[in-house]
Each structure stands twice: as C-alpha cells, then as structure tokens.
Amino acid sequence: MPYVNIKITREGATSEQKAALIKGVTDLLVTVLDKNPATTFVVIDEVAFEDWGVGGLPVEEYRKQLKAKS
Amino acid sequence: MPYVNIKITREGATSEQKAALIKGVTDLLVTVLDKNPATTFVVIDEVAFEDWGVGGLPVEEYRKQLKAKS
Amino acid sequence: MPYVNIKITREGATSEQKAALIKGVTDLLVTVLDKNPATTFVVIDEVAFEDWGVGGLPVEEYRKQLKAKS
Amino acid sequence: MPYVNIKITREGATSEQKAALIKGVTDLLVTVLDKNPATTFVVIDEVAFEDWGVGGLPVEEYRKQLKAKS
Amino acid sequence: MPYVNIKITREGATSEQKAALIKGVTDLLVTVLDKNPATTFVVIDEVAFEDWGVGGLPVEEYRKQLKAKS
Amino acid sequence: MPYVNIKITREGATSEQKAALIKGVTDLLVTVLDKNPATTFVVIDEVAFEDWGVGGLPVEEYRKQLKAKS
C-alpha cells in the first residue's frame, strides 16, 4: 500500500499529464515491488514559482540567472 | 509535540468538519500518549480530484469504474 | 481515501498505543467525513530527540530550559 | 525540479529495486513533463508494519483479517 | 542535496519575505553542512487558518482564546 | 506557528550541526516573519544513500558518475 507524493512547479501540467503520472507511478510500483494498485495512492502538488527555491533563489529568478550565465 | 498532517480529497469539507478533525486528533494524542495540546499541530490539506490517484487512475475516474463494475 | 501522517518524538510509544492512534484517527475520519476505512492510510513517524526542534532548541534541551524556568 | 517521496511498508525492498523505482519515476517525469533529471529528487521511506495503518488496523493485522475473510 | 519544506499560516507573507526564507535556509545549509546550493530545494506551503490547528482548535479560534485569557 | 522539515542525506551530521540547523531556521522565521519560536517546530530527517535519488540514480552512484565526467 504505497503512498507517493509528487511535487512539481505550477507551470501548466494538464489533467492528461497528471493522469499519466498517476498511471506511470502506479505501474512502476506494481512492476518493481508487486504492489496492489487498489491500495496505491498518488498525490500531486503543484507549487507556485515564488514558493519553490533552488540555489538560494525563487525558481524563476534562478532560471534567469542560469540563462544569463549561459 | 506532535505534528499531524491530514490529506483528504477536496469535496466540500466544512469549517465545522475541519474543526472536528482538529479537535478529535488532538484529543486522541492527549488520551493515548498524554501529549500537550498546546504543542500539538494539525495541518489539513485538501487535494483536487485530478491530483489524487488510486488504482492507477485519478480518483474520479477510479470511482466511476468501481461503480460500473458493481 | 484520506492519508494521515502522525509525527511524534521517539520516547517509547508501544505497538498498542500506535494501534490506538491508527484506530482513533480512522474512526474520526469515518465519523466526521464518512470516509471508507479500507482506503484510509495512517503513517506514524517517530523522530529522535536530536532531530526535533522547538523554541530554537533540540527538544530535550528545550524541556530542560522550561523546567529550569518553572 | 520535481521532488518525489515514495512511502512503502518495510518488507525487504532491495537496493536494486529502490534504484529501479528512482530510475522509473525520474524517466516518467522526463517523458511526461520534460523535467530535467539532474534536478529531480526521489526520496524513499520504508515504514515499519506497526507504523502503517489501513482499515483502522496496523497493516499486518489488516492483512490477517482480509485473509481470514477470503 | 537537501530538501526543505516550510509550512506557515497564510497571513500575507510577501514574495520578498519568501525569497528571504529561501535564501536564509539555503545559506544555513551551506554554512552548517557545506551543502551545494544548486541542489538545495526549498518549498514553502501557506496553510489557510481553518486548515491549521493547535491546542485542539483552528488557529484563529486558538489565538482568540489565548488573548481572552491574557 | 511554522513547521519546517529538513531532509538531508545521512552522512554523519552531528548533534551540534543539527542543533545549529534548528537554531538557524527558527531565528530566520523570527527575523523574516516575526514568528514565535515557542511554536516553531523543526524536524530533521536523515535519508540513507540508497533511498535518495537524483538524476535517475541513487545518490552515491550519481556522485560517482559526476566525478568520472569531471
């Protein structure tokens, strides 16, 4: 009975893409660990840009700096 | 000083129901483990249907299939 | 299909006490929100004292200071 | 830069199986959402039987009851 | 490659304050544990008052009671 | 009343370093958001190498590959 939580930045993932993540992760747990899909939960969290930091910066700022450097 | 996180699908839980969850979980931790309510946190997350998967499907799809089978 | 995570400091909770937490939280979700117990997950994490901070201090240190003040 | 947390009951998942989960989830995020693997984190938590509840019971107890009923 | 999740009540934290949290936590992990900022993630969750409980009450109710007592 | 969870790979963080993380994060929340330290929780999780993935690989494997490339 696995529980999987996927956090991604909010940038337009569609319902179809989310359904693909749910199916893909569940299939993976069935294949690798023989888990029962009926008791496999997947919860997706979309996180606003200003709420996600990397490199000490909010993610949008971070991407700008990466681009400027390249 | 317990920390409890409750994740439920977003389907209309009222403020009163949330208050009942907060009170019930806190009372439980006091009764079972003699915890101090003043340092017991409860955080409730409501999750949209398309963000919660079970049986390899978004929850709404899953419920439809269960119904169709029964 | 709720998912509940309970984090407590590791200080000797017994299997019986954990079972009481699992039963109590599940019953609460059934009573308050009419959830199905068969798809209600409860996960308990016990956290070592040095890994739990409050008031800016590891919890053991914090309790000593509270005691000294009282 | 996704972050994925996988919680499973502790029942002997090998390092190879864990590596397969890590690879599978990362590939999925690349395929479905075009994420960068270098900033995709996967964290696996194994949870002891007595710390995982379903149906209001610790998981081992729950499985026994399911078996008895079938 | 640390992952940090900060949960606060939703009461008007600005983008600048969030950026300060992201920078502060990342600097701390660099200073204390020599972590690489480029692989340090910080995710901030703002939680509505009715979804955060303490002392067995939703946080707003709890604050009112504290005030009334003082 | 913030709740902060810090996940790091298990590679020998000392009690002193953990106390420094707890103090640093708490001070940061006081400085930036004027939070009350007495209701600020910090929970640290150390994660075994085989349970942390990045770049589609367990972290140790990933570091080896980075080194080999450089």
pLDDT tens for residues C10-21? Answer: 999 999 999 999
> Domain-by-domain residue ranges, chain D?
3-69
Per-residue model confidence as pLDDT tens digits over E7-59? 999 999 999 999 999 999 999 999 999 999 999 999 999 999 999 999 999 99
**Residue D13 pLDDT class (50, 70, 90 cuts):** very high
Low-confidence ranges of chain F (pLDDT < 70): none
B abuts F (3+ Cβ pairs < 8 Å): yes
Contact E3, E44 (CB under 8 A): no
Task: State the pLDDT at residue B23.
Answer: 98
Structure tokens at E20: 């300060």
Helix (H, G, I), strand (E, B) or coil at F12: coil
Task: Say if the Cβ atoms of B1 and C28 lie within 8 Å.
Answer: no
Task: Report chain B's mean pLDDT, rounded to a whole number.
Answer: 96
**Residue E5 pLDDT class (50, 70, 90 cuts):** very high
Q: Could you give the percent of chain D with pLDDT greater than 90?
A: 94
From chain A, the residues in CB contact with E29 under 8 A are none
Show Cβ contacts of residue E34 under 8 Å, excluding neighbours closer than 6 positions.
Answer: none
Show Cβ contacts of residue C64 under 8 Å, excluding neighbours closer than 6 positions.
Answer: none
Task: State the pLDDT at residue C70.
Answer: 76
The whole-number average pLDDT for the span E52-69 is 95
CA distance D69 to chain A (A): 18
**Residue B70 pLDDT class (50, 70, 90 cuts):** confident
Is residue A70 scored above 80 in pLDDT?
A: no
* Closest CB from E25, E27, E43 relative to A51: E43
Is residue A13 scored above 80 in pLDDT?
A: yes
Cα–Cα distance for residue pair F52/A60, rounded to 1 Å: 25
Structure tokens at D47: 């949870």
Q: What is the DSSP track for E1-49?
A: --EEEEEEE-S---HHHHHHHHHHHHHHHHHHH---GGG-EEEEEEE-G
Is this complex's ipTM strictly greater than 0.90? yes
Residue found by looking up tokens 């199905």 in the block: C36
CA distance A12 to chain C (A): 26
Task: State the pLDDT at residue F42.
Answer: 98
Active site residue D58: no
How many of the other CB atoms lie within 10 Å of CB of C67? 8
Cα–Cα distance for residue pair A60/A41, rounded to 1 Å: 30
**Residue C1 pLDDT class (50, 70, 90 cuts):** confident
The whole-number average pLDDT for the span B27-53 is 97
Q: Could you give the percent of chain E with pLDDT greater than 90?
A: 94
Show Cβ contacts of residue D32 under 8 Å, excluding neighbours closer than 6 positions.
Answer: A17, A20, A21, A24
Residue (of D53, F43, B42, B9) closest to C44 by Cα position: D53
Q: Could you give the percent of chain B with pLDDT greater than 90?
A: 94
From chain F, the residues in CB contact with D18 under 8 A are 50-51, 58
Task: State the pLDDT at residue C69.
Answer: 84
Residue found by looking up tokens 């075994």 in the block: F48
Q: Determine whether A64 is exposed, middle or buried from the number of CB atoms within 10 Å of its CB (0-12, 13-18, 19+).
A: exposed
Task: State the pLDDT at residue D8.
Answer: 98
Number of residues written out for chain A? 70
Is residue D1 scored above 90 in pLDDT?
A: no
Task: State the pLDDT at residue E70.
Answer: 76
Residue (of A54, A12, C42) closest to E36 by Cα position: A54
Residue found by looking up tokens 């959402």 in the block: D33
CATH of segment(s) B3-69: 3.30.429.10
Beta bridge partners of E57: E54
The whole-number average pLDDT for the span B4-24 is 98
Per-residue model confidence as pLDDT tens digits over C34-48? 999 999 999 999 999
From chain C, the residues in CB contact with B33 under 8 A are 8, 13, 17, 21
Show Cβ contacts of residue F46 under 8 Å, excluding neighbours closer than 6 positions.
Answer: C51, F8, F9, F10, F13
Structure tokens at A67: 């681009």
Residue of B1 and A41 predicted with greater confidence: A41
Task: State the pLDDT at residue D5.
Answer: 98
